[in-house]
Amino acid sequence: MSTTCACGKRITSTGNTITRKGLPKKKGGIGLHTTGITRRTFKRNAHTMRVKLPNGRVQRVKVCACCLKAAKYENI
């Protein structure tokens, strides 16, 4: 399966989850302290659909939800 949307955007990207403890200064504490950082993946809301390509062929491709909403690709 492809790892990119038909528009070229990557389906998965990586980042961090940051675990914090303590009471925020805004709520009267001494501030939040980071206790752990873990790698994670962000996955796009991608759907497999049949699309008519510019050269006239019909092909199954992965399309992200923002492209579906913008009606960039015609569903067949």
Cα–Cα distance between 57 and 6 in angstroms, integer? 14
pLDDT in tens, 4-54: 887 888 888 899 999 999 999 999 999 999 999 999 999 888 889 898 878
How high is the pLDDT of residue 19? 96
How high is the pLDDT of residue 72? 81
Burial of 61 (0-12, 13-18, 19+ CB in 10 A): middle
Domain ranges, ordered by start, for the chain: 12-69
pTM beyond 0.75: the answer is no
